[in-house]
């Protein structure tokens, strides 16, 4: 299989890992010197990068792995372990020697050494490929890991995404020691929001909603203005909402007020206070919706700006 890994406290981002096993290098598992799809034992070939190939050169007796579509920036690290025969046979003593590693492929020898004692001891090194029955039952376990230009992030350095698992899946967390910014903003703070942000139907600031969407009274809206961003409102009497003063922490916050239930045809008045409204805004039909974003304005106090759709 192949996957991205962003190791904690590493200055390399997007480490792309390819791993696979071949249980048997017998020649019937190759077609035109290329390992057939069923020759990959764990995982299946579908989990490897597209057009990945494992082949051998019968003339020069070496193996080649082509991982071009992993798109490594620099040559990856390649680890190869040998599965040597079975329990009924003594190990042959297979060895691996990597010839070359590039950003697109790796070549290696599979060989064994015979020691011959005839007067003086001599050694003979023999490289083998699947044209020989000697590789029947011999397999490989391979892992390739390197930095790639694709993946979840494009940061120059990864200073520590950390996943914390708890006894409850709902309480698992992920955090980072890096400053994080959105919308292309270079973050001067732990979390810097460029653009708008809000909470949709769920908890914010440590508050959890027991239902995805509920009807809020105008009082509930004000009490939860920093917890959610979407407020379906129920109205039973004529009421008003005065939006709170916009502080630095509110800048970019978005809220949507929707009159969802108004069986008695009452009026919901949004006052001009702390907004850019020139006059009070009245909602009285079910479905009436208004959207505000908290924004700063040079030379003026920050305020809630009503969004107009042109």
What is the band of 202 on the pLDDT scale with cuts at 50, 70, 90?
very low
223-253 confidence digits (pLDDT tens): 888 777 888 899 999 999 999 999 887 888 8
106-119 confidence digits (pLDDT tens): 999 999 887 766 66
pLDDT, position 206? 34
For residue 36, pLDDT over 90 is answered with yes
pLDDT, position 269? 96
- Euclidean distance between CA atoms 76 and 286, whole angstroms: 61
| Contacts (Cβ under 8 Å, ≥6 apart) of 76 | 16, 67, 70, 101, 103, 106, 144, 145, 146, 147
pLDDT, position 190? 78
For residue 83, pLDDT over 70 is answered with yes
Report the Cα–Cα distance between both ends of the chain, in Å, rounded: 50
Pick the residue with more confidence: 213 or 295? 295
Question: What is the DSSP code string of 162-211?
Answer: EEE--SSGGG-EEEESS-EESTTPPPSSSEE--S-B---SS--TT---SS
For residue 86, pLDDT over 90 is answered with no
**All domains of the chain, ordered by start, with CATH?**
2-147 (no CATH), 183-306 (2.60.120)
40-81 confidence digits (pLDDT tens): 998 889 889 889 999 999 999 999 999 998 888 899 999 999
Burial of residue 10 (CB within 10 Å: 0-12, 13-18, 19+) is middle
Strand partners, 120: 118
> How many helical (H) and strand (E) elements, i.e. helices and strands, does the chain have?
1, 22
Other C-beta atoms within 10 Å of 270: how many? 21
Write out the two tokens for 186: 């270079």
125-154 confidence digits (pLDDT tens): 888 899 877 888 889 999 999 887 654 444
Q: What is the CA radius of gyration of the chain?
A: 32
CA 180 from centroid of its chain's CA atoms: 15
pLDDT, position 11? 60
- Euclidean distance between CA atoms 284 and 307, whole angstroms: 19
**pLDDT, mean over the chain:** 81
Pick the residue with more confidence: 274 or 179? 274
């Amino acid at each position: 299989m192949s996957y991205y890994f962003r190791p904690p406290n590493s200055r390399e981002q997007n480490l792309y890992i390819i791993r696979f096993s071949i249980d048997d290098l017998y020649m019937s598992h190759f077609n035109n010197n290329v390992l057939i799809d069923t020759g990959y034992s764990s995982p299946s070939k579908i989990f490897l990068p597209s057009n990945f190939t494992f082949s051998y050169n019968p003339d020069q007796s070496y193996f080649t792995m082509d991982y071009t579509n992993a798109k490594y920036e620099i040559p990856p690290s390649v680890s190869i372990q040998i599965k040597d025969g079975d329990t009924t046979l003594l190990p042959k003593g297979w060895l691996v020697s990597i010839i070359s590693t590039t950003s697109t492929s790796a070549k290696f020898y599979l060989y064994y050494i015979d020691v011959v004692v005839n007067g003086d001891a001599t050694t003979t090194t023999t490289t083998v490929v699947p044209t020989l029955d000697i590789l029947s039952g011999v397999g490989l376990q391979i892992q390739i890991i390197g930095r790639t230009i694709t993946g979840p992030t494009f940061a120059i350095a990864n200073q520590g995404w950390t996943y914390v698992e708890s006894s409850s899946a709902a309480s698992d967390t992920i955090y980072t020691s890096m400053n994080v910014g959105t919308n292309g903003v270079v973050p001067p703070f732990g979390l810097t929001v460029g653009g708008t942000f809000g909470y949709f139907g769920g908890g914010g600031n440590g508050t959890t909603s027991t239902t995805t969407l509920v009807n809020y009274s105008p009082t509930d809206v004000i009490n939860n203005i920093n917890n959610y961003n979407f407020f379906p409102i129920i109205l039973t009497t004529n009421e008003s909402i005065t939006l709170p003063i916009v502080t630095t922490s509110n800048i970019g916050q978005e809220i949507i007020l929707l009159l969802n239930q108004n069986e008695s045809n009452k009026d919901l008045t949004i006052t001009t206070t702390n907004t850019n409204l020139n006059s009070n805004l009245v909602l009285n039909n079910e479905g009436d919706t208004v959207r505000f974003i908290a924004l700063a304005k040079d030379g003026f106090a920050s305020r809630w700006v009503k969004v107009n759709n042109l």
